[in-house]
Amino acid sequence: MKVSRMLAAGELIALRRGLYLRDRAIDPLVLASAIYGPSYVSFESALAWHGLIPERVEEVTSATLRRPVRFETPVGRFRYRHVPSRVFAIGIESVEDPQFPWLLASPTKALCDAVALDASIGSQKDVRSWLEGMRIGEVPVLDQEQLAACAASYGRPSVRRLARYFQKNLTTP
C-alpha cells in the first residue's frame, strides 16, 4: 500500500515490476544492470561513453545472457541484446559510480559486440566502411588479447575480420 501511495504521489518512479527509483536525475547507464541482468553496457552506448563515436545515444544498449528485451521507463529506453555465454565476461570493466557501481564493456569489447551483430561485414573493406559509418574517429590502441579472445569465442566471421583489420592497422581505422 505504501509503495502504491508513493507512486501516486510522485515520490517513487516505477522502472519495472519490483524496481523503483526516487531520484529522476540518476544517469540511465547506472540503472541498466539493475533493470535486467546479468548485463553490461555495450554497443553504441559504451562506444559513446568511451568517446569513440560523436553521437549522443538515445537508448542504453546492454549485452545480456538472457533473451533480448526492451524497456521504456520514465528515465529512458533500455535495450538488451543477447551475447553468447563464452564471450560475456571478456573485456568487462566495473565503473565505480558514487550512486551505484555498474558494468561497462571496454572499447575493444564494445566494438566486437557491435560488429558481431552485423552480418553485412564480409571483407576488410566492409570493416573500414562500418567504422566510417559509425563515425569512429581515433580508435585508442585496442587490447589485442581481448580482440583475439572475442574473435575466437564469438565464432562470427565479422568479429574475425575486425580482429584482422586491427592487426593490420594498429593505429587508426
115-136, pLDDT tens digit by residue?
Answer: 998 888 999 899 989 998 888 8
| Interval 57-98: pLDDT, tens | 999 999 999 999 999 999 999 999 999 999 999 999 999 988
Residue 173 C-alpha cell reads as 581505422
| Interval 131-163: pLDDT, tens | 988 888 666 678 999 999 999 999 899 999 999
- For residues 92-115, b (16+ Cβ closer than 10 Å) or e, as one string? bbeeeeeeeebbbbbbbbbbbbbb
The residue to which cell 581515433 is assigned: 138
Give yes or no for a contact between 1 and 17, defined as CB atoms under 8 angstroms apart.
no
